[in-house]
Amino acid sequence: MHKLCTAILFHLLLFAAAVSVRGAEISAREEAAPYAGATVYLLPIREDIMPATVRQVTRCLEEATALNASCVVIDMNTYGGVLDAADSIRTMLLDYPAPTIAFINNQAASAGALIALAADSIYMRPGASIGAATVVDGSGAVMPDKYQSFMRSMMRATAEAHGRVPSAERGDTVWRWRRDPQIAEAMVSPSTAVPDLTDGTQVVTLTADEAIAWGFCEGKASSVEELLALAGIDDYTLYEYAPSWLDRFIGFLTNPTLQALFIILIIGGIYFELQTPGVGFPLVVAILGAVLYFAPLYAEGLAAHWELLLFLTGIVLIILEIFVTPGFGVLGILGIVAMITGLAFALIDTALLRYVPTGELPVSVVLGPFLIVIISAGVGLLLSIWFGNRFLRGKSGLRRRVVLVSDMKPADGYVSVAADRGLTGREGITSTPLRPAGKVVIGGRHYEAAGDDAAFIGKGIAVIVTRDENGILYCRKKEV
């Protein structure tokens, strides 16, 4: 009996050891290939960060979620772009549940650095760089320091979002930032000093090797395939985002230059329609400009219903000022303010406005679109006035097409009807029945006539003219 128990115990221990070894083997394989049979979604970003890029990233993440992708790889090469668009993408990446990998395929500057920093992992191509995130204006000039504060806070917060990792130092475990927030801030502010990296006299831009050394990069790769191999993703299916023609078209329409042109068309069309009512073509141009301006912004999620309604309200107020209360008073001023406000706020991601009162968001983010709209509207108005004076005055060919300029001269047969032709009290004969309108003959000449008080008078009846009004002789039957 004792031998039987010993044998059973031995076999149980042997079975447990086998199971343990088997489990260790499985665990080791899973650790070596955590993405076995993975679905990888690839999103290329190789242009400036614009509102269209936000739409592109949104659709990509939605498709990746639908495919149950194991990870999303962002293949990026960008020199920056619009700050609020970059912040929207940053937030989406930080909140995305699946792992995200940024592949800096040459450059991740300015807004691109913010987006790359939001990814869970960063890989860089040899010769690539990340940093130089100082806020600049449209001409490339560095904005004052107060405009850098929002970018500095975003870079710090994004770095801190990746938390701390343990490291062994002299036998002790020390928790350090995975991405050093101070280095992230130094990418924006030249005055931020980082020991052994910068003395606080220049903005930080890291090469691939420097980024690896300072914990801002997991490794170097020359291609997406090499990146996936370094990340331990060997068995995978790769899906690459392909923008539709609609995405490309919307991205084209949201170009700032075209947006300014659409504003010029809107203002010019409204101006000419008010100058030449009834022509129609200027109104069509204004409507087309408004559709091309608001539609892509609405599709991008920037423009909302209230902004379009505010713009239309402004137009109605201006029309009321011109045609109902002539002059230029309160309605006209309110109309102009409403139009400019509606056009400007359509360019702003209203979700960011909550940061303005706290001072985290530079006021330039709000004032910039207003300045663009005001300048574009001013240019549109000046061009409209110049165009009107140049082509709708005198005897220009365009003026002859839209304005009646012909002179109706007596020599050409155009003769006005005299107010009183001296025919009142004259007798005549109806040449047609008057029912009540018809014709009468007086002194051998035919005249337009009508029965007095709309009375019916037959043909060939003697009549007397009672009055002559507007070229018509009003007649009554002659009493015998």
Q: How many CB atoms lie within 10 A of CB 95?
A: 10
Q: Which amino acid is at 220?
A: K
CB neighbour burial string for 184-207, b if at least 16 within 10 angstroms, e if fewer: bbbbbbbebeeeebbeeeebbbbb
Q: What is the average pLDDT across 414-439?
A: 80
Q: What is the average pLDDT across 178-196?
A: 92
pLDDT tens-digit readout, 136-168: 766 667 776 766 888 899 999 999 999 998 887
Average pLDDT, the chain: 81
pLDDT at 406: 62
pLDDT at 131: 93
- In the predicted structure, residue 62 carries a pLDDT above the cut 90: yes
Span of 4-13, 191-200, 344-353 with lowest mean pLDDT: 4-13
Please report how the helices 51-66 and 83-95 are oriented relative to each other, as an axis angle in degrees rounded to 10. 10
- In the predicted structure, residue 15 carries a pLDDT above the cut 60: no
Determine which helix (DSSP H) or strand (DSSP E) holds 145, and give its type and residue range. Answer: none
Span of 318-322, 337-341, 364-368 with lowest mean pLDDT: 364-368
Span of 38-42, 82-86, 200-204, 231-235 with lowest mean pLDDT: 82-86
Q: What does the domain layout of the chain look like in residue ranges?
A: 36-243, 246-402, 412-477
Q: Quick one: CA dihedral 428, 429, 434, 437, positive or negative?
A: negative
Closest CA to 124 of 235, 181, 206, 49: 206
Is 3.90.226.10 the CATH number for 36-243? yes
Closest CA to 421 of 466, 468, 463, 464: 468
324 by DSSP, 3-state: which? coil
Q: What is the average pLDDT across 340-368?
A: 71
Span of 153-167, 364-378, 456-470 with lowest mean pLDDT: 364-378
pLDDT tens-digit readout, 81-128: 888 889 989 999 999 999 999 999 999 999 999 999 999 999 999 999
pLDDT at 28: 38
pLDDT at 363: 64
Task: Quickly state the pLDDT bin for 296 (edges 50, 70, 90).
Answer: confident
pLDDT at 83: 82
- In the predicted structure, residue 360 carries a pLDDT above the cut 80: no
pLDDT at 22: 35
SS3 annotation, 23-34: HHHHHHHHHHCC
- In the predicted structure, residue 33 carries a pLDDT above the cut 90: no
pTM of full prediction above 0.85: no
Closest CA to 250 of 200, 176, 300: 300
Cα-Cα-Cα-Cα torsion 351, 354, 355, 357, nearest 10 degrees, comes to: 150
pLDDT tens-digit readout, 376-423: 888 888 888 887 777 665 555 555 565 555 666 666 655 555 556 788
CB neighbour burial string for 214-252, b if at least 16 within 10 angstroms, e if fewer: bbbbbebbeebeebbeebebeebeebebebeeebeebbe
Closest CA to 105 of 233, 225, 232: 225
What is the C-alpha to C-alpha distance for residues 326 and 135, in angstroms, rounded to an integer?
Answer: 47
Q: What is the average pLDDT across 19-29?
A: 37
**Candidate CATH numbers 2.40.50.140, 3.30.1370.110, 3.40.50.360, 2.60.120.260; the one for domain 412-477:** 2.40.50.140
pLDDT at 418: 57
